[in-house]
């Protein structure tokens, strides 16, 4: 496979450097978030689920969804969703029920135990937002700017998948 490189002008080089830095930051932030959740759970003695599973519970919230909807709604990005759902059901964090219409489809929702994990994460994230504010790290407007930029990148990448390949 041949890698083609394109000569970039000054502004394109700057954009490329910023883009690559952003990609690295997003990756590091995701891994760091998983470590933060892991540390919080270890501190509280919640050791039977991992951070990915905890975030899945948090993101599902009060919704009832199928495994397929977890990906399409953006609740879960992993390739092993079936494994994590089965484990969360087996451990009592989620209920599951086969669809009456399509027996292949399973709907899941949180149990009381699963909602407890959601509360733990909500409290953790609330402490983080208080810390951001108290330390002057970022305010609501700055967070909105970041989110809008990330959403534009997300739309661009989604379009690349849908229309180019």
- Total H helices, total E strands in the chain: 6, 3
Q: What is the pLDDT of residue 4?
A: 60
CA distance linking residue 163 with residue 161, whole number of Å: 6
pLDDT of residue 120: 98
CA angle, 158 then 21 then 79, to 5°: 45
**What is the predicted pLDDT for the residue at 115?**
98
Q: Give mean pLDDT in consecutive 10-residue pieces for the chain, a chain of 165 residues.
A: 69 93 96 97 97 94 86 72 90 88 82 98 98 97 97 92 72
pLDDT of residue 16: 94
H or E element, residue 116: helix 112-134
Q: What is the pLDDT of residue 54?
A: 96
Predicted local confidence at residue 70, as pLDDT: 82
């Amino acid at each position: 496979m041949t890698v083609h490189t394109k000569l970039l002008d000054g502004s394109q080089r700057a954009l490329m450097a910023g883009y690559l830095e952003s990609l690295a930051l997003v990756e590091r932030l995701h891994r760091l978030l998983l470590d933060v959740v892991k540390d919080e759970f270890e501190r509280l003695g919640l050791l039977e689920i991992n951070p990915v599973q905890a975030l899945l519970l948090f993101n599902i919230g009060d919704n009832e969804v199928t495994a397929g909807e977890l990906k399409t709604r953006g609740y879960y990005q992993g390739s092993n969703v079936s494994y994590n759902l089965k484990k969360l059901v087996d451990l009592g964090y989620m209920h599951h029920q086969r669809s009456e219409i399509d027996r292949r489809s399973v709907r899941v929702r949180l149990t009381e135990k699963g909602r407890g994990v959601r509360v733990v994460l909500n409290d953790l994230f609330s402490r983080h937002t208080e810390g951001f504010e108290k330390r002057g790290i970022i305010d609501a407007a700055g967070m909105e700017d970041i989110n809008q930029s990330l959403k534009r990148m997300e739309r661009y990448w989604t379009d690349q998948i849908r229309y180019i390949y």
